[in-house]
Structure 1
Amino acid sequence: MNEFTILTTLALVHFVGLLSPGPDFALVVQNTSRYGRQIGLFIALGLSFGILLHSVFSLLGISYLIQQHPLLFLLLQILGGSYLLYLGWGALKASWKNRNVGKTQSVSEQPQLSSKRRAFSQGLATSILNPKALVFFVSLMSSLVPATMSLTGKGVALIILWSLALFWFSFLAWALSTPKMQRKVNTMTVYVDSLCGLLLTIIGVTILWQSFSTFSNIA
């Protein structure tokens, strides 16, 4: 395949991967519905830079080395699973608190993401600490980007992966924060928190379960 075909295929596969619901999707939906557009956009920016780092590490072979080193990969699984579980538990607690209060708290009463910097950091950490993302990008790069590809082609590949992620997550944040959608979302914040918290918790528990299974095999 020529480089144009490789890059087109890479973009399509990556975009399909972005469309599948996961911790990134849940994070954008929950925090945009709760804190508004700016926080959602900075979450999206953090997630996209996390994906850029995954892509760079995969091209350099760092991610492959981590995946092939059982203890390093186990550590990443434990950190990632624990962090997602923490986010999920936080969302479930917020949902339970709001259900008991009977109304949604205002943004000023919720300090979890009080700044754009914290929003960016949470998006970046969620992406970087997701072991499934590491495996996905190792597989994607190793199967679609040949070692003989030019530096220009690899640079374009990185730009494509980053820009598609930024576009998709920013679009989600924008769509969920339009005035009409925000009015609807405000009446369903408790349910959004519950669903996103449940999704993050399930993914976190699954990753931790897999890590403990891996540890048992190593031991």
Structure 2
Amino acid sequence: MNEITILMTLATVHFVALMSPGPDFALVVQNATRFGRQTGFYIALGLSFGILLHSIFSLTGVSYIVHQHPTLFAVVQIAGGSYLLYLGIGALRSVWSRWPQRHQSSDLANDPSLLLSSRRQAFSRGFTTNILNPKALVFFISLMSSLVPSAMSIPGKVAALVILWSLSLAWFSFLAWALSTKRMQRKLGSAAIYIDGLCGVLFSGIGVTIFTQVISSL
């Protein structure tokens, strides 16, 4: 395969993976629905840079070394599982505290203090969620080792990194934009508490699954 074909294949596989529901997808849905477009974009930016770093680690062999070293990989799994549990429990606690007022409308997107706080934290939350996900580490090792040959030129590898980063930013930004239009906000506003609950269950479930995998591998 020539490099153009390799890059097109890489882009296709990565884009299909991006659209699959998971922690990254859920994080954008949860935050764009509650806090609006700006927060959703910063989440998307953080996720895309996490994906870029995973891609660089995979191309340079760092991720492969971590994956092949049981102790290092266990540390990554524990850190990732803990962070997802933290997000999940936080979402569920938020649902619990808001449940008595679930039928009352609350315009979270117009709360200036909340927006400022979200703006500062959204990028790091997106980045941390992606970079600490051990499943993402394994995925990019598989993706790069199977589709990007070691003999590929430096410009080709740089193009691969740019494609992975730009596709990730474009997809998650589009998702944040689509969920934060006025029409979607009206439709999803009353369901925000249920979306938070589903995301909380998803984050917690994946976190528990990761811990189970770590324990079973000991």
TM-score by length of 2: 0.94
Amino acid at match of 2:190: T
Name the counterpart of 1:7.
Answer: 7
Name the counterpart of 2:198.
Answer: 195
Q: Is the 8 A contact 1:104 1:190 kept in 2?
A: no
Name the counterpart of 1:96.
Answer: 96
1:57 matched to 2:57:
yes
- Gap change, CA 1:119 and 1:205, over 3 Å in 2: same
- Gap change, CA 1:157 and 1:199, over 3 Å in 2: same
Structure 1: any 5+ residue segments left out of the alignment? none
Name the counterpart of 2:20.
Answer: 20
Q: Is the 8 A contact 2:26 2:199 kept in 1?
A: yes
1:23-56 alpha-carbon deviations (Å, 9 max, x no partner):
0001000011111110000000000000000000
Q: Is the 8 A contact 2:81 2:206 kept in 1?
A: yes
Query: CA shift at 1:166, angstroms?
Result: 0.4
Q: Which runs of 4+ in 1 moved over 4 A?
A: 109-113
Query: CA shift at 1:179, angstroms?
Result: 0.4
Determine helix, strand or coil for the equivalent of 1:21: coil
- Gap change, CA 1:112 and 1:95, over 3 Å in 2: farther
Query: CA shift at 1:106, angstroms?
Result: 4.7
Determine helix, strand or coil for the equivalent of 2:149: coil
1:159 matched to 2:162:
yes
RMSD: 1.6
Name the counterpart of 1:181.
Answer: 184
- Gap change, CA 1:70 and 1:12, over 3 Å in 2: same
2 CA distance for matches of 1:71 and 1:168?
A: 34
2 CA distance for matches of 1:170 and 1:212?
A: 36
Determine helix, strand or coil for the equivalent of 2:151: coil
Name the counterpart of 1:81.
Answer: 81
1 CA distance for matches of 2:73 and 2:115?
A: 29
Q: 1:101-140 alignment to 2 at 5 Å?
A: 101-102=101-102, 103=104, 105-107=106-108, 108=111, 114-140=117-143
Q: Is the 8 A contact 1:175 1:181 kept in 2?
A: yes
Query: CA shift at 1:18, angstroms?
Result: 0.5
- Gap change, CA 1:183 and 1:106, over 3 Å in 2: closer
1:69-101 alpha-carbon deviations (Å, 9 max, x no partner):
000000000000010011011111111221123
2 CA distance for matches of 1:162 and 1:144?
A: 16
2 CA distance for matches of 1:176 and 1:147?
A: 40
Q: Is the 8 A contact 2:87 2:204 kept in 1?
A: yes
1 CA distance for matches of 2:184 and 2:85?
A: 28
Amino acid at match of 1:181: M
1:211 matched to 2:214:
yes
- Gap change, CA 1:31 and 1:23, over 3 Å in 2: same
Q: Is the 8 A contact 1:87 1:201 kept in 2?
A: yes
Determine helix, strand or coil for the equivalent of 1:115: helix
Aligned residue pair count: 215
Determine helix, strand or coil for the equivalent of 2:89: helix
Q: Is the 8 A contact 2:85 2:204 kept in 1?
A: yes
Q: Is the 8 A contact 2:44 2:169 kept in 1?
A: yes
- Gap change, CA 1:64 and 1:112, over 3 Å in 2: farther
